[in-house]
Amino acid sequence: MSDPSANSQTDDLLAPTAGLSGGVRTASKHDSGPKHVAGEAVYIDDIIEPFGTLHLAPGAATIAHGKITKMDLSKVRSAPGVVCVLTADDIPGVNDVSPAHTHDEPVLPDGLVQFYGQPVFCVAAETRAQARAAAKLADIEYEELPAVLLVDEALEKQLFVAPPHVMKQGDAASALAKAKHRRSARMEIGGQDHFYLEGQITFAVPQEDGDVLLHCSTQHPSEVQHNIANVLGRPANAVTVEVRRMGGGFGGKETQASQWAALAAIVAVKTGRPAKFRLDRDDDMIMTGKRHDFIVDYDVGFDDDGRICGLDIQYAANCGFSADLSAAIADRAMFHTDNAYYLGDVEIRSYRCKTNLVSNTAFRGFGGPQGMVAIERIIDEIAMTVGRDPLDVRIANYYGTDDRNTTPYHMVVEDNVLGDLTDDILAASDYRKRRADVEAFNAQSPVLKKGLSLTPVKFGISFTTSFLNQAGALIHVYQDGSVHLNHGGTEMGQGLFIKVAQVVAEEFQIDLDQIKITATNTGKVPNTSATAASSGADMNGMAARDAAMTIKNRLITFAAEKYGVAEAAVRFVPGKVIIGDQAELSFADVIKQAYLARVSLSATGYYATPKIHYDRENASGRPFYYFAYGMACSEVLIDTLTGENKVTRVDIIHDVGRSLNPAIDRGQIEGGFIQGMGWLTTEELWWDDKGNLRTHAPSTYKIPACSDRPEDFRMELWSSGRNVEKTIHRSKAVGEPPLMLAISVHRAIADAIASVADHKVIPALNTPATPEAVLYAVADVAKRMMQNVGQSMPAAGE
């Protein structure tokens, strides 16, 4: 009966519905805004603890790889306040929290340490301070094994967490052999810590029958539920997971919550007391996974115009000690090797390297950024080689609309808006003139140099694991017409809850404040997918709309029957229901009448993304429902004496289709951009030669601060944006894509570095572009320029 993707006509509108407060397309404020600013929004650590709540702390390994030969925890057990101590032996069910059922991620290791800082035991005490103090008292001895800390070494030894994967179109080798120009190089791409402001936390409350209720800061309540049920050796229905809001997620709470949830759950069930596990920031950074660092080796062929005619590219992803989601993440890097460009004959190989480091995980963009930053560097290098403006080389390589439109995984790009977007960003940013200005500035400035770059983003929307593209919702309408909304998506600040509520307000034509947004709970909507892959609003919006339509259709049938009009004559308009020429009732009155007439006012909703299919074996199909596009032009200033750098101006135009909520979307775009900028500039992860992460706190790991936000920051939602697919009100996903707009920053820095040698020498700039990395690249460019005097071709920059 109800098909949520059978779009209603209002879907395509640009303006909000008149007379409705808080329907779609309005810049509604974040539902929690007034609570956030007053300190009244309740995070898990803020829930009033029942009397007797225990607190957990982890005990960490101090080697990167080895066997535990002795673990004497007697001092831990006898420390003040300690109630219980857990080791691998205390796990009642399966000792595994691997998300993809690879059985390689123990809750606590059974004798084998696989990374420095791995929790090997866990303490529960009366207070958190007591637990933390006790955790330091263990006497542990190890037999060390050789630790593999570098990706190259893992690659050489063929140590993988998942099998290598290949994607290809045409014949890259012979295309390369025929190419007029060829360039090969290596790029190293750094990882990134999520640095969500709220660290990992679970608060476990024991229930009857040995069941447990978990308040868990997770993007994936269903997975936590299933994992913890396994760990407890209980069926899934013994575990309920609830999350009202997270203090940030960014992918870091897609799989990383389970381990702490499991330990808290075990303690709660074992002691019958509530148990809270909140990781200290340093432990959080040491013990949880991050964005994968990559090594990319490439060999590209191109013509005099800079058009790519063949590419052989190899990714080696540093996965850490276990698989986690690495296979899908490494896949997504492959999927985004093309970014916005037709690559022709291409071969993409990917290795998922196993190292003795914490297991890397999802992070906004999910591998996509690593693929894209590599191809954008390649394009710049091509441009320098053929002596064209990099933007012109980008345009020359853009996907075509009628031809040159197949991706390396054989999907036809049907929604290409690159040309129009480029025209608009060119005008907005005044790129051509500013290119000349930058050159003029650099000519007269010996120390400070400017750089400019304009880069596109084309990002595939859908989980590439097709079955994950499903969502559920639950709506109750109470007798007074107030609405209770629930769905499987989680709120981590991205504004999902308000967007979905707006969809429901629009469907019922009631004001937003009549809808109660409620905590995600596995007891209400089961078997959900993670709130990830930017899919939250697309899928949960549709599922909620489906539920609303079910109720609405029941109301229509009821009203048509009762008032004797055709169903088509029953119309929902702002605040009211018009029943032909018979009646005009408030929404609440219709609800009251329907209740008395025994019409069900509760419904579930469901959505499965259409059109997608993917044959992974042959790396071929349509893994993405559609693409999200955006463009950014960044200008930077670097100091050639110190390598310090600063972004001075940014212009962004981003395509969110028909925005569900322009204010929320803008927030995602600028927040994503700044986060991407941090990844590519100041955020450096540094391990010592023992595999001990030494940047495990904000004192040493530097995310962007307020002054890093470019002074001149201009951003527009693309006014022509419209999803050609029938997504929820023709909107587009916005969570991840904007992060990759920041690649323009990295490329602008490289441009500034290249100016030192008059763009005659290609800078070998890796990520992040810390002052140190930039100064080395400057020095290297200057040195090679001296060596090259007399030669005409730029030297390769490895």
Partner 1 sequence: MTQHTDITMRADIRFLLGDEERSLRNIDPQMTVLDYLRLEERKSGTKEGCAEGDCGACTVIIGEPNGDGGMAYRTVNACIQFVPTLDGKQLLTVEHLKSKDGSLHPVQQAMVETHGSQCGFCTPGFVMSLYQLWLDGGEEDRGAINDALAGNLCRCTGYGPIIEAARNAGGVAANDTTEQKRRTDLATRLSDMVKDAGTLAVEHAAGRYYAPRTSDELAALLVAHPDATVLAGGTDVGLWVTKMLKRLDPIIYIGDVADLKSVSETETAVTIGAGVTYSRAHDALGRVAADVGELIRRIGSRQIRNAGTVGGNVANGSPIGDMPPALIALGAKIVLRMGDVTRDVPLEEFFVSYGKQDRMPGEFVQSVIVPKPALGMTFKAYKISKRFDQDITAVLGAFAIRIADGKVAEFRAAFGGMAGTPMRAKKCEAALIGQDWNEASLSAAQLALASDFAPMTDMRASKEYRMLVAQNLLTKLFIETSAPDVATRLVGKEAAHV
* Residue ranges binding ligand FES (CB under 6 A): 197, 248, 493
Strand positions, DSSP E, 265-307:
275-278, 294-302
Q: Which of ligand FES, partner 1, none lies near 46, with the C-beta cut-off 5 to 8 A by kind?
A: partner 1
Of residues 586 through 625, those in contact with partner 1 by CB under 8 A are none
Does 117 bind partner 1 (CB under 8 A)? Our answer is: no
Q: Which CB sits closer to ligand FES, 248 or 662?
A: 248
Name which of partner 1, ligand FES, none residue 236 binds, using a CB cut-off of 5 to 8 Å depending on partner kind. none
Task: List binders of partner 1 among 431-460 (CB under 8 A).
Answer: 445-448
For partner 1, give the closer residue by CB, 369 or 623.
369
Task: Say which entry of partner 1, ligand FES, none residue 713 contacts (CB below 5 to 8 A, set by partner kind).
Answer: partner 1
Q: CB–CB of 740/734 below 8 Å?
A: no
CB of 39 to partner 1, least distance (A): 2
370 and 736 Cβ atoms separated by less than 8 Å: no
CB of 41 to partner 1, least distance (A): 5
Residues 540-579 contacting partner 1, CB under 8 A: none
Contact map string, positions 310 to 349, toward partner 1, x by CB under 8 A:
----------------------------------------
Q: What is the DSSP letter of 26?
A: S
Tokens of 688: 């010592």
**x/- site string to partner 1, residues 2 to 31, per CB under 8 A?**
-------------------------x-xx-
Q: Cβ closer to ligand FES: 82 or 492?
A: 492
Going from the C-alpha of 437 to that of each of 214, 432, 690, the distances in angstroms are 58, 9, 48
Closest to partner 1 by CB, 199 vs 306, is 199
Contacts of 196 (CB under 8 A, 6+ apart): 246, 247, 248, 249, 250, 252, 253, 492
Alpha carbons within 13 angstroms on the beta-carbon side of residue 303 total 8
Instruction: For the chain, report the end-to-end CA distance as a whole number of angstroms.
Output: 60
What backbone phi and psi angles, to 5 degrees, belong to 742? -70, -10
- Which entry of ligand FES, partner 1, none binds 585, CB below 5 to 8 A by partner kind? none
Q: Judge whether 141 and 69 are in contact, CB under 8 Å.
A: yes
Which lies closer to partner 1 via its Cβ, residue 606 or residue 679?
679
Question: Which is the catalytic residue, given 40, 567, 736, 798?
Answer: 736
Site string for partner 1, 624-653 (x = CB under 8 A): -------------xxx-xxxxxx-------
Which tokens go with 568? 């088509």
Which residues neighbour 8 within 8 Å (Cβ) at sequence distance 6 or greater? Answer: none
Q: Among 157, 178, 432, 694, which residue interacts with partner 1 (rule: CB under 8 A)?
A: 694
For the CA atoms of 550, 551, 552, 558, what is the dihedral angle to 10 degrees? 110
Integer Cα distance of 455 and 654 in angstroms = 12
Neighbouring C-beta atoms of residue 791, cutoff 10 Å: 10
Q: In angstroms, what is the minimal distance from the CB of 420 to partner 1?
A: 26
Tell me how far apart the alpha carbons of residues 138 and 311 are, in angstroms, rounded to a whole number: 53
Report which of 517, 534, 451, 447 is spatially closest to residue 483, judged by C-alpha positions.
517
Is 192 an interacting residue with respect to partner 1 (CB under 8 A)? no
Q: Phi/psi at 372 (nearest 5 deg)?
A: -75, -35
The residues facing 460 across adjacent strands are 627
Among 404, 516, 592, 709, binds partner 1 (CB under 8 A): 709
**DSSP annotation of 9:** G
DSSP character at residue 708 = G
Residue whose CB is less far from partner 1, 301 or 691: 691
Q: H or E segment at 507?
A: helix 496-508
Answer for which of 708, 716, 785, 795 binds partner 1 (CB under 8 A) is: 708
Q: Which CA distances in Å does 548 have to 83, 379, 545, 759?
A: 48, 48, 5, 59
Give the footprint of partner 1 on residues 221-250 (CB under 8 A).
245-250
Candidates 518, 553, 700, 788: give the one binding partner 1 (CB under 8 A).
700
Two tokens, residue 159: 């140590």
Piece of the chain touching partner 1 by CB under 8 A; list 88-96, 318-326, 377-385, 665-673: 665-673
Shortest Cβ distance from residue 675 to ligand FES (Å)? 10
Residue 394 DSSP SS3: helix
Question: Is there a cis peptide before residue 106, judged by omega within 30 degrees of 0?
Answer: no
Q: How far is the CB of 644 from partner 1 (least distance, A)?
A: 5
> Is position 736 annotated as part of the catalytic site?
yes
Minimum gap (Å) between residue 681 Cβ and partner 1: 9
Cβ at position 197, least distance to ligand FES in Å: 4
Cβ proximity to ligand FES: between 116 and 250 the closer is 250
C-beta closer to ligand FES: residue 706 or 789: 706
The four Cα atoms 439, 441, 446, 451 give a dihedral, to 10 degrees, of -60
Q: Quick one: DSSP state of residue 522?
A: T
Question: Does 713 contact partner 1 by CB under 8 A?
Answer: yes
Which amino acid, 401?
T
Q: Give 33 or 564: the residue with its C-beta nearer to partner 1.
A: 33
Site for partner 1 in 494-513 (CB under 8 A): 494-495
Candidate residues 6, 38, 568, 789; the one interacting with partner 1 per rule CB under 8 A: 38
Tell me whether residue 456 or residue 493 sits nearer to ligand FES (CB atom): 493
Q: How far is the CB of 185 from partner 1 (least distance, A)?
A: 22
CB 659 within 8 A of CB 25: yes
Q: Which of 197, 427, 440, 597 binds partner 1 (CB under 8 A)?
A: 197
Least distance in angstroms from the C-beta of 618 to ligand FES: 41
Query: What is the set of active-site residues?
Result: 736
